[in-house]
Structure 1
Amino acid sequence: MTINTEQLAAANKANLDSLVELTQKAFSSIEKLVELNMQAARESLEQTAEQAKAVLAVKGPQELAALQQDFLKPAQEKAMAYGRQVYDIATSTQAEVKKMAEAQMAAAKTQFSTLVEEATKNAPQGSEAAMAMVKTAMTNASSAFESVQKAAQQATSLAETNLKNLGETAEKATKAATKRRA
């Protein structure tokens, strides 16, 4: 079986469409991160100005120590919130890219299966055993890929759970430390 120019053009168009979609997802994610960073920078600048004014109005060391305690908790909470937002952006982008890759893999698998079926129909007499071996190899490769994909999904899920637990633990520890200082 030969690939004609229409099939080649369709494959190139599909690849270009995928590249454009992937690029758009990447830019969207970058835009979200830039927006988040600009918001964080703006809030940080405003907060720093307010804190500087408050420090200049301090009349003694005890008042300064109390003021520092007041500054610490909101800063920790904002840092945790920022980290969660970055994590959310990254995981949503990863999920979109993964979905797109899975669709691409499914399409490629279908195309390959179609090619093998076409080749089987047009195979010369006596090549049935060889074609059966190709089909078996394709089935085995597909099963292996699915197993690897499941293992990767489990590892990703475990990593996400561990990261979430770590964030919650850090947040609890921060709150406990802040309460002890107060």
Structure 2
Amino acid sequence: MFTNPEQFASATKTLFELQMMTFNALTSKAVQGVEQVVALNMATAKNSAEASIAAGKEMSQAKDPKEAMASLAAHAEPGMAGAVAYGGQLKDIIEDIRTEFTQAADTHMAEAKSTLSALIYDVTQNVKPGSENAVAIIKTAIDNAFQGYEQVTQATRQAVQVVEAQVAKASAQVAPGAAAKAPKAKK
């Protein structure tokens, strides 16, 4: 087992630091992703408002209802194209977040495995006769801690996949709507 309590404290501290590094990396990636989505939403809202104002101005200057409807139809197609582009950009942001989450989690997982392997090695060295049960308990505790760490990482990956699937579903629903409305707008 550990020859002194400082070894155990050092190993525990290292594992805790790895967990905090992983948490900080994943949190940082999540915040960056939220910032990107907010920026995209703000730009989309601004563009939409400007397009609506321009469309309203054109419609108000129309000389008859037919001209007003033509103006409305002319603005519908770019609006749908913008919605499709928005979905694509949102999907790209989510995919980037997923990729960065996966890379950060995998990197920190490898570091944790290495640290745990070293910890288990230290635990099993210099075992005094009759201490086998204590070693087994410590190994089990370390294995359980690592399994919990893996479960948190897996849950994070699943959450990102769910968000990505929802974005893909929403984008798929917008895209057919744009295709269906675009020909009508030209008529």
Q: 1:116 to 1:83 in 2, by over 3 A?
A: same
Counterpart-to-counterpart distance in 2, 1:33 and 1:176 = 27
Cα distance, 1:23 vs structure 2: 2.9
Q: What corresponds to 1:93 in structure 2?
A: 97
How far apart, CA to CA, are the structure 1 residues paired with 2:28 and 2:164?
Answer: 25
Give the one of 77, 80, 93 matched to 2:81.
Answer: 77
AA aligned to 2:41 is: N
- TM-score, normalised with respect to structure 2: 0.67
Pair 1:72–1:31, CA change in 2 (3 A): same
Whether 1:7 aligns to 2:18 is: no
CA distance in 2, matches of 1:33, 1:163: 12
Structure 1, unaligned runs of 5 or more: none
Q: Which residue of 2 aligns with 1:29?
A: 33
Counterpart residue number, 1:19:
23
Post-superposition offset of 1:33: 1.5
Whether the aligned pair in 1 keeps the contact of 2:80 and 2:178 (CA below 8 Å) is: yes
Matches within 5 A, 1:61-72: 61-72=65-76
In 1, are the aligned partners of 2:87 and 2:167 still within 8 Å (CA)?
A: no
Rounded to whole Å, the distance in 1 between the matches of 2:45 and 2:184 is 29
Fraction of identical pairs, as percent: 27
Q: 1:167 to 1:26 in 2, by over 3 A?
A: closer
TM-score (norm: length of structure 1): 0.69
Q: Distance in 2 between matches of 1:121 and 1:164?
A: 52
One of 103, 107, 111 as aligned partner of 2:107: 103
Alignment of 1:137-176 (within 5 A): 167=171, 171=175, 174-176=178-180
Q: Deviations over 1:63-116 (max 9, x none)?
A: 122122111111111111111111111121121112111222222222222233
Q: Which segments of 5 or more consecutive residues in structure 2 lack a partner in the other structure?
A: none
What does residue range 32-71 of structure 1 map to in structure 2 within 5 Å?
Answer: 32-71=36-75
